[in-house]
Structure formats: C-alpha cells, structure tokens
C-alpha cells in the first residue's frame, strides 16, 4: 500500500490581516508623509520627505525603533526592513534577513551588496528568464552586470533586456508614490511550469483576487474595473477587463469577475503568468442599495452593500464554523475557531495582545457563541517611533 497524503486548508482571515495592516501603515505614516503601500504587508517610505537624518547610523536606529513599535502595536508581528537609495535596493535588502531582519545599504555600496546575490533576486527574473541566463553562465547579479546590453536585447527584447541591464547596475530611479496617486492595484504570479489545469488556475485566481481585495480595503479604496492578465509560454500576453456600474472592495466579487474573464481565454497551450488587477479606483464603495437578485446588473454578481473598509457580513453559525474564524462568546469574550466537526466547535480565547488563552468546546449551535470581526487592538498603539 502506497503512502497516504492529505491536505489541510486554513481559511484566510482577511479582516484580521486588514486590521493588522492598518495599524502598521499608521505607524509608517508617522515616520514619513510619503508612503507607498504596494500590498497588505509591504510599503515603501521616503525618509527624506520625513526630514530624517539619512546617515547609516541614524537610519539603522530609526528602523530598529520602527520594528519594535510594530511588534508592540500588533502583538508580536515581525517586520523586515531594507533601506537604501532606491526601491530596488530597499526591497532586496528587506528580503535578505527575513524574518525580522534589517539591512541598511550605504550610498555607493549598492553594487557590492547586490552583485554576489543570485540573479533571481531581481524583479522580473522568473523561472524562464533564469533558465535563459543560466544557459549563458549567468547566475549572479554580478554576472548579469557583465553581459553587454546588445546581448540582453537579443535574448529578451528591448523592454525586458534594457530593464535587466539597468537593474543589474542598481539603476532604479522610481519615486515613492503616495497612496492617493494610485491608479491601479494588482497581484500576479509566475509559475515554474506552464499551467493548463482549470481547477489549479481557479485556485490561483481566488488567491490573487484575495490579495487585491485586501489591498483595496487596506488603502480605503474601491474599484469598478477588474482585469485578468495572462502570459503564455512564448511571452505573448493578453488581458481581459470588465467594468461594473458601481465600485466595490469585496475580494469575493473581484474573484467572481476574474473567474468570468479567465473563462473567456483558451488555456490549453499553458499559462506562464497569471495576474488580477483593478482600476477605475475610488475612495468609497457605493453598491446599489435597492438592487435585488431579480434586477441584478448585467456586468457582475451582486453582494450586500457595504462601505469601504467594512468587513463582509459574518456567516451565520448555522452555516458552519471555519478554522481561524473570529468569534465572540457571551461569557469568554473574543476568540477564534480552533476546529469544528460532529456538531461541536472548539474555540481558543486569546487575542494579539493577550497571553495564550484557554480552549473551550461548545455545541455548534450554542446561542452564546457568535461570529465576529477580529478584536480591535489598534487603540493600544504605543508611543510612535519618531
């Protein structure tokens, strides 16, 4: 008899992730007025815009204070920080010592830090690009910096080749763009092998849409247009878009529309990259309060009205309890579902700022147990790190 393999699935807690993100981003905005949030857990800061001393010792001390403040404000969430003269250097620096690490690259040291690293550290170097570079003996960023520009243009084309040439030399002049200037939000994934399985692609769409929806809510934005991006093995890229009459920040609706768009695309040749994005951004959600299923608009499924930043309605207890779901008990207070089944549900009663709490088991239909949002620890933010 062969080995038995199983899979475990943990339901995502978007409301809790969003609340943690809001606390962290508030701390970042106290450090600098110019913050570019690029995902629910990642952002760039312009320290010069905050009037800070930009010497290496001062930046190091500031980053240490910021990491401590984030941990205190979120009940122990670790932050990895990279600091440098460009977004490229800062991003790579933040990845070097995860989790909870700090890398400060002094001006003039960029190439010395980057060149020993594998070329896959650079944005845009996925499995296909890496394989092509390896065939030419290019394994590190330093190796890439020694490749003449004409060769890179021949291998990868004008845009990609020129981009790799610049990045290998730490040539990155992209500015930090504040949230209010965002025109679109997106998430994408490059796969090691071309995907053709519709079930797997559907799972990827759900995950990408969840990331995009979480970023919308973290930024207090909503969107009317959903776009799916598909890149094939030969790097041909197509997009499909759909625009609603009303903006939304609901990741479930973003996923539903993205599924519809992907269904219009022939995936039999394989997909190398898949992305979900949103545009036509607004600072509010205004779904039609009077829409009913019988009068649903033609361009997308309907959801319950909600305002920007608001959590979707919690599921009723009779619909089943999800592992990781936030709950509240009339006696024990806030907690989260540890597991459920056979008509019972086990709940651990603890929060981000409490010590490990007790576990209690209840009947699944216990009237004292209610679905809830995550506990609000934001008011407990300690002294700011500046």
pLDDT for residue 377: 58
Quote the CA–CA distance of 105 and 85 in Å, as a whole number.
8
pLDDT for residue 12: 58
3-state SS class at 376? coil
Over residues 111-131, the mean pLDDT reads 91
Q: Comparing 176 with 317, which gets the higher pLDDT? A: 176
Q: What is the CATH number of domain 182-295?
A: 3.30.1490.100
Provide the residue ranges of all domains of the chain, joining segments of one domain with +.
Answer: 14-107, 123-168, 182-295, 317-375
Over residues 22-32, the mean pLDDT reads 89
Quote the CA–CA distance of 328 and 374 in Å, as a whole number.
9
**Domain 317-375: CATH class, spelled out:** mainly beta
pLDDT (tens digit per residue) in 79-91: 999 999 999 999 9
DSSP conformation letters of 320-336: -PPTT-EEEETTTEEEE
Tell me how many degrees the CA angle 348-354-356 measures, rounded to the nearest 5. Answer: 45
pLDDT for residue 255: 92
- 59 pLDDT band, cuts 50/70/90, is very high
Which stretch of 5-19, 117-131, 148-162 has the lowest confidence by average pLDDT? 5-19
- 62 pLDDT band, cuts 50/70/90, is very high
pLDDT for residue 143: 96
Nearest residue to 98 (alpha-carbon basis) of 112, 78, 117, 115: 78
3-state SS class at 47? coil
Q: Does the domain formed by 14-107 have CATH 1.10.10.10? A: no
Residues tagged active-site: 42
Nearest residue to 34 (alpha-carbon basis) of 51, 22, 46, 52: 46
Quote the CA–CA distance of 87 and 106 in Å, as a whole number.
14
pLDDT for residue 149: 95
Q: Comparing 354 with 214, which gets the higher pLDDT? A: 214
pLDDT (tens digit per residue) in 335-365: 888 887 888 888 888 776 677 778 889 998 8
Domains 123-168 and 182-295 agree in fold: no
Over residues 2-25, the mean pLDDT reads 67
Q: How far is CA 12 from the centre of its chain?
A: 13
Q: Does the domain formed by 123-168 have CATH 3.40.50.10860? A: no
Question: Most confidently modeled of 31-40, 103-112, 227-236, 304-313?
Answer: 103-112
């Amino acid at each position: 008899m062969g080995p038995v393999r199983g899979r475990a699935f943990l339901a995502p807690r978007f409301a809790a992730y969003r609340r943690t993100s809001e606390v962290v981003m508030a701390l970042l905005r106290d450090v600098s007025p110019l913050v570019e949030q690029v995902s629910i857990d990642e952002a760039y800061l312009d320290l010069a815009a905050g009037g800070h001393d930009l010497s290496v010792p001062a930046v190091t001390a500031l980053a240490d204070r910021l990491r401590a403040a984030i941990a205190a404000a979120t009940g122990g969430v670790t932050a990895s920080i990279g600091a440098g003269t460009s977004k490229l250097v800062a991003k790579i620096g933040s990845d070097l010592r995860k989790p909870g690490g700090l890398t400060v690259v002094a001006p003039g040291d960029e190439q010395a830090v980057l060149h020993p690293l594998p070329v896959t550290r650079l944005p845009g170097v996925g499995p296909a690009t890496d394989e092509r570079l390896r065939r030419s003996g290019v394994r590190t960023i330093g190796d890439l910096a020694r490749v003449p520009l004409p060769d890179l243009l021949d291998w990868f084309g004008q845009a990609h080749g020129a981009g790799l040439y610049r990045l290998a030399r730490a040539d990155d002049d992209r500015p930090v763009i504040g949230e209010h200037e965002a025109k679109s939000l997106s998430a994408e994934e490059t796969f090691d092998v071309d995907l053709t399985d519709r079930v797997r692609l559907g799972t990827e769409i759900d995950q990408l849409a969840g990331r995009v929806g979480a970023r919308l809510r973290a930024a207090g934005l909503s969107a009317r247009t959903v776009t799916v991006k598909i890149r094939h093995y030969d790097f041909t890229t197509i997009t499909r878009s759909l625009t609603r009459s009303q903006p939304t920040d609901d990741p479930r609706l973003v996923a539903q529309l993205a599924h519809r768009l992907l269904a219009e695309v022939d995936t039999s040749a394989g997909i190398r990259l898949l992305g979900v994005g949103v545009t036509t951004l607004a600072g509010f959600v205004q779904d039609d309060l009077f829409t009913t299923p019988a009068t649903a608009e033609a361009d997308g499924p309907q959801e319950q009205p909600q305002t920007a930043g608001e959590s979707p309605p919690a599921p009723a207890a009779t619909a089943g309890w999800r592992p990781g779901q936030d709950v509240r008990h009339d006696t024990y207070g806030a907690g989260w579902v540890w597991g459920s089944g056979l008509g019972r549900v086990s709940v651990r009663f603890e929060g981000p700022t409490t010590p490990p709490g007790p576990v209690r088991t209840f009947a699944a239909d216990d009237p004292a147990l209610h679905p809830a949002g995550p506990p609000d620890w934001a008011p407990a933010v300690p002294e700011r790190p500046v």
